[in-house]
Amino acid sequence: MLQERAEEMEEDLLPLQERHSRLSERSAALRAQHRTLRPELETLEAEDERRIEGLRSAGAAMRAERAGLAGSLGRTLKEYELIRRSKKGIGVALLQGGRCSACNVSLPVSVQQRATQDKFPPVKCPSCGRFLIRLTQPA
Ligand SMILES: [Zn+2]
């Protein structure tokens, strides 16, 4: 009886030992792969850090430039922020084919002419109240 039970347990143990052996080999292979890839990972992480640092300094430069430009806009910037807040985040619209790109209203010729003169402060759409700008072709 006891002998039978011992044989059964040995039979149960065999698949587990095989599985343990396979998993140990797999583990060793993965450790070796990790050791091989570690230098590459360190290189990539260093490149990533440099890239992040570059983006941080570019962002800081852009924020400083924006602050400088915003200072020169004064009242128009405040007005723009108010328009933006009341118009779902979009305070400017393009003059496109005689229409406002935001509300699609056909603009009076006098408004179109003032918008194309690029004067400051910019002209506003008589319908939606956003500042109208036109895109100029790059030289
Ligand atoms: Zn409009």
Q: Are residues 45 and 10 in the same domain?
A: yes
pLDDT digits (tens, 9 = 90+) for 95-111: 999 999 999 999 999 99
pLDDT digits (tens, 9 = 90+) for 33-43: 999 999 999 99
Contact 115, 123 (CB under 8 A): yes
**Cα-Cα-Cα-Cα dihedral of 93, 94, 96, 100, to 10°?**
20
Q: Ligand 1: distance of its center to the CA of 115 in Å?
A: 12
Q: Ligand 1: distance of its center to the CA of 99 in Å?
A: 8
Contact 114, 123 (CB under 8 A): yes
Tokens 């056909």 correspond to 106
Question: Distance between CA 83 and CA 121 in Å, rounded?
Answer: 14
Look up the domain containing 99 and give its range: 75-133
β-sheet bridge partners, residue 115: none
CA 20 to chain centre: 46
122-130 mean pLDDT: 95
Q: What is the pLDDT of residue 137?
A: 62
Q: Are residues 4 and 58 in the same domain?
A: yes
| Cα R_g (the chain), whole angstroms | 34
Domain total of the chain: 2
Residue 36 lies in a domain: yes
Q: What is the DSSP letter of 120?
A: S
Contact 103, 81 (CB under 8 A): no
Q: Are residues 67 and 103 in the same domain?
A: no
Q: Ligand 1: distance of its center to the CA of 93 in Å?
A: 7
- Among 73, 118, 79, 70, smallest CA distance to 95 is for 118
Q: Ligand 1: distance of its center to the CA of 83 in Å?
A: 12
Q: What is the pLDDT of residue 139?
A: 53
